[in-house]
Structure 1
Amino acid sequence: MSIVTPIQSKSGFTRMDNDLYEALIGAELSGRELRVALAIHRQTAGYNLESACIAASYIAEMSGIRREDVSRAICELIRQGVIYRDGGSRSPIGFAPIGEWKIDKKNTHPNKPKEVPQCGVSNTSNVAFLPHNKERNTNTTPDGVVVYAERQPAQAKPARQKPAMEACPYQDIVDLYHKALPELPAVAILNDGRKRALQARWRESEVHRDLSFWADYFCQVKASQFLMGQVPGRNGSKPFRATFDWLIAPSNFVKVVEGNYHA
């Protein structure tokens, strides 16, 4: 009896290139990144398209992942060269050539051979046995009398402290802003208010605690004609142009990450 399930053409199916399939299997992507990549493949190759405009909210509905986390996964996939996007956050998405992928090495702890436990050997048997801790210590007097001493209870181990969170590299983030967005107003003074805002964004997510995320964030801003002041204002008003303070404000930060901003 055949165990191969035939494809039901009436319900539809999506073909995947073998090289892409095998590359996704071998790539060290996180579970969330892989699920988002598969959703993108479904919405592109599934409709015989090389790229398509896919809203983060739609992928979130497909995958059950929060929209904000979908946007972050898309940014990570773009940064690692797995997918590409022509233009801003609302532009079409497609898979990049496999040879251009630059996947992060996430497994930083290579497998090591297990240590062989030490064994004691009985004088009356050839069977090896594992050493064990006695509940009572024994002492022998000069007369040969064995005296048992109750074992003292072990002292409680001090509670493990959580590792301190890495301090926010304020100046490095500002330098990335200046490098990516020289057209926008420069940050002349890194005052306490700006440091507090950066510290809050830095602490919000582990994804934010990476300078590569901020480099991608500012590149995403640069790709937006609206944020760069290249879109005429309404009723002849002056075009809007983002500033550093605007970009690191809580509500605006989420809008840019999720691509949920418009003129």
Structure 2
Amino acid sequence: MSNVIQIKSTGGFTRMDNDLYEALIGADLSGRELRVALAIHRLTSGYNKEAVKVAALYVAKMMYADEEKAVSERANVSRAINSLIRQRVLFRDGGSRDPITFLPVNEWKIDPKSTVSKSTQCVEKIPATVSKITHIKDINTNTNPNGLVVAADASTSEISESEPEQQGTPEPDQPEPAKADRIPYSKIVEIYNAVCVGVLPKCVKLSPKRKNLIKGCWNLEINGIHPFRKGEFWTAYFTDCLTNKHWIGDNDRGWTADIEFLTRQDKVLKVLEAL
């Protein structure tokens, strides 16, 4: 018995270029990103169009039969579209109301997987391979913080930066034990540089002002949750910042943001409230 199903012309179908088909199969995209890409393909090739003007809510309704679910997922779909644009899978010359289309496969720049070290409370480093999350899309902030949290309890909203907990009084003639910051500033800087360098200035030094701004993000509470206590959220946040054209130099002065600007409380809230 043949497993080839004949397509009835009366039923309708959407043709897909083989190169695009194989590229989507091999691309290391999230499930939501892949579904969004397929939806855009349906709305373009499926209607013999090169590009299409489409709202994130419309794509969400294509993905979810339940209308209430679609409405709640609109922001996640919007972030997935922005991520695909940043990875040059999709292209849109302008804002969210402008047409969107696919770029040639040879121009795609899919985010690679990266290897990071998880630090446990016993200070033992365990190598672990994880997928680099490209934006805030799939983060469940109700879970406990991941390896980014070195010595902080996720339920503690007030963390001392300058007076970390001591491990007792050192014995005479014994070296004083090293103090560990509860906020992993160096790891946050590492994430910023990994995501933003090449577009924004590299952070080479953490001044007291910059530490204080990062601490403000770390202690930011939204609906009883501290989202910036997850390493993925920092990656996602900095990635979403790169979608602001003015911040990445598309202005009459050629000015660009830096880590100090992006960790200001008003800028953080501006990004989060726009999602």
Superposition TM-score tier, normalisation by shorter sequence? 0.5 to 0.7
Once the two structures are aligned, what percentage of the paired residues are identical?
43
Do the aligned partners of residues 219 and 73 (structure 1) sit closer, same or farther apart at CA in structure 2, a change above 3 Å counting? closer
Task: Kindly indicate whether residue 271 of structure 2 is the aligned counterpart of residue 253 of structure 1.
Answer: yes
Kindly report which structure 2 residues correspond to 1:151-170, keeping only aligned pairs within 5 A, or say none.
163-165=147-149, 167=184, 169=188
Corresponding residue for residue 34 of structure 1? 34
C-alpha deviation, 1:39, in angstroms: 1.1
Counterpart pick for 1:79 among 67, 86, 90: 86
Do the aligned partners of residues 35 and 204 (structure 1) sit closer, same or farther apart at CA in structure 2, a change above 3 Å counting? farther
Contact 1:84–1:93, Cα closer than 8 Å, also in 2: yes
C-alpha deviation, 1:24, in angstroms: 0.7
C-alpha deviation, 1:215, in angstroms: 4.9
The CA distance in 1 between the partners of 2:99 and 2:55, in whole Å, is 10
Contact 1:198–1:248, Cα closer than 8 Å, also in 2: no
Deviation per residue, 1:48-85 (Å, 9 max, x gap)? 12221221112222223722222222222122221112
Task: Kindly indicate whether residue 227 of structure 2 is the aligned counterpart of residue 209 of structure 1.
Answer: no
Do the aligned partners of residues 71 and 45 (structure 1) sit closer, same or farther apart at CA in structure 2, a change above 3 Å counting? same
Corresponding residue for residue 90 of structure 1? 97
- The amino acid across from 1:106 in the alignment is K
Corresponding residue for residue 244 of structure 2? 220
Deviation per residue, 1:19-63 (Å, 9 max, x gap)? 100111111212222111111111121111222122111222222
Corresponding residue for residue 106 of structure 1? 113
The CA distance in 1 between the partners of 2:97 and 2:43, in whole Å, is 15
The CA distance in 2 between the partners of 1:218 and 1:9, in whole Å, is 44
Contact 2:88–2:109, Cα closer than 8 Å, also in 1: yes
C-alpha deviation, 1:98, in angstroms: 0.6
The CA distance in 1 between the partners of 2:25 and 2:59, in whole Å, is 20
Deviation per residue, 1:104-161 (Å, 9 max, x gap)? 2338689xxxxxxxxxxxxxxxxxxxxxxxxxxxxxxxxxxxxxxxxxxxxxxxxxx9
Structure 1: tracts of 5 or more residues without a match: 111-160, 181-188, 229-243, 259-263
The CA distance in 1 between the partners of 2:44 and 2:245, in whole Å, is 25
- Name the SS for the 1:54 alignment partner: coil
Pick the structure with greater CA Rg: 1
| Cα RMSD for the two superposed structures | 4.4
C-alpha deviation, 1:102, in angstroms: 1.5
Corresponding residue for residue 53 of structure 1? 53
Structure 2: tracts of 5 or more residues without a match: 65-69, 116-127, 130-144, 151-183, 201-208, 221-225, 252-263
Counterpart pick for 1:69 among 55, 73, 76: 76
The CA distance in 1 between the partners of 2:46 and 2:267, in whole Å, is 36
Corresponding residue for residue 3 of structure 1? 3
- Name the SS for the 2:40 alignment partner: helix
The CA distance in 2 between the partners of 1:204 and 1:15, in whole Å, is 45
Contact 1:170–1:195, Cα closer than 8 Å, also in 2: no
The CA distance in 2 between the partners of 1:84 and 1:21, in whole Å, is 17
Do the aligned partners of residues 106 and 63 (structure 1) sit closer, same or farther apart at CA in structure 2, a change above 3 Å counting? farther
The CA distance in 2 between the partners of 1:97 and 1:76, in whole Å, is 16
Q: TM-score with structure 2 length normalisation? A: 0.51
Divergent runs of 4+, >4 A: 107-110, 170-173, 189-195, 204-207
C-alpha deviation, 1:162, in angstroms: 5.9
Contact 1:79–1:216, Cα closer than 8 Å, also in 2: no
